[in-house]
């Protein structure tokens, strides 16, 4: 049974990994060695670390959907968002701040977080509840006092805040919402 579990875990975790995931592979191999030695505590620590590495890879993929800065603006991508998401049920997140001197706004994308699923129902019924909506390409975003929130595929939240809506909408329009639907599948 021990060999079956070992082979199943190793096959499931290593097989789908891309070649560039050397640190992930090394960590999973370390977990497997610890398991073979009977060190369950260290096995769990290594598996948790491998999970963190994979989450970082997923976050990097999500950050690719953050729009480029408009002409005259700069963009700074934050790498700190996932620590907060872990306390909110997990998932992946990416955030960027756009500025042009005195003006700034941020765009946040969160995927596969339980909180996003809960918001999805509310946003889909926003018009029925008399909430203000903004059209962004083929998407509709809820406008709550200048903070824009949209849901892609019922599981990916996009939020923009900090500047005039007329400034943020053209930037949001550059997000490939259709490609974002396939994220994490």
Contact partners, residue 112, CB within 8 Å, separation at least 6: 90, 91, 92, 155, 156, 184
Same domain, 38 and 70: no
Would residue 130 count as lying in a domain?
A: yes
Are 99 and 152 in the same domain? yes
| CATH number of domain containing 168 | 3.40.1000
Q: Are residues 56 and 70 in the same domain?
A: no
Considering the domain boundaries, does residue 185 fall inside one?
no
Q: Which pLDDT belongs to residue 184? A: 66
What is the per-residue pLDDT for 125?
72
Instruction: Clarify whether residues 27 and 69 are in a common domain.
Output: no
Give the end-to-end CA distance of the chain in Å, rounded to a whole number. Answer: 31
Residue at 127 is within a domain: yes
Taking the C-alpha atoms of residue 36 and residue 30, their distance in angstroms, rounded to an integer, is: 10
Q: How far apart are CA 66 and CA 96, in angstroms?
A: 7
Closest listed residue to residue 110, CA positions, set 58, 152, 158, 144: 158
Low-confidence residues of the chain: pLDDT under 50: 1-21, 86-87
Q: Which of 26, 42, 60 is the last residue of a domain?
A: 60
Mark whether 42 and 75 lie in a shared domain: no
Tokens of 32: 């497997």
Number of domains in the chain: 2
Indicate the pTM of the whole model.
0.70
Both 107 and 165 in a single domain? Answer: yes
Domain boundary among 32, 60, 88: 60
pLDDT for 148: 95
Residue 79 is predicted with a pLDDT of: 67
Strand order in the sheet with 92-99: 74-78, 92-99, 104-111, 156-161, 147-152, 139-144, 133-136
CB–CB of 107/95 below 8 Å? yes
Q: Domain limits at 41?
A: 2-60
Q: Are residues 47 and 73 in the same domain?
A: no
What is the reported pLDDT for 14? 47
**CA 135/CA 87 separation, integer angstroms:** 32
Place of tokens 């060695």: 33
Whether 73 and 130 map to the same domain: the answer is yes
| 110 CB-near residues (< 8 Å, 6+ apart) | 85, 91, 92, 93, 116, 156, 157, 159
The pLDDT, as a whole number, for residue 113 is 77
**Three-class SS string for 69-101?**
CCCCCEEEEECCHHHHHHHCCCCEEEEEEEECC
């Amino acid at each position: 049974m021990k060999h079956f579990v070992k082979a199943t875990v190793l096959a499931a975790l290593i097989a789908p990994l891309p070649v560039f995931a050397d640190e992930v592979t090394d960590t999973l191999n370390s977990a497997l060695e610890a398991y073979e030695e009977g060190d369950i505590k260290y096995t769990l620590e290594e598996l948790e670390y491998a999970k963190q590495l994979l989450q970082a890879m997923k976050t990097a993929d999500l950050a690719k959907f953050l729009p480029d800065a408009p002409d005259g603006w700069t963009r700074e991508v934050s790498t700190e968002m996932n620590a907060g998401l872990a306390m909110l049920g997990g998932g992946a997140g990416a955030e960027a701040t756009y500025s042009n001197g005195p003006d700034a706004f941020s765009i946040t994308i969160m995927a596969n977080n339980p909180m996003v699923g809960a918001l999805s129902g509310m946003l889909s019924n926003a018009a029925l509840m008399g909430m203000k909506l903004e059209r962004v390409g083929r998407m509709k975003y809820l406008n709550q006092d200048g903070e824009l929130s949209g849901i892609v595929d019922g599981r990916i939240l996009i939020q923009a805040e900090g500047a005039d809506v007329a400034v943020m909408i053209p930037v949001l329009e550059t997000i490939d919402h259709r490609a974002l639907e396939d994220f994490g599948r």
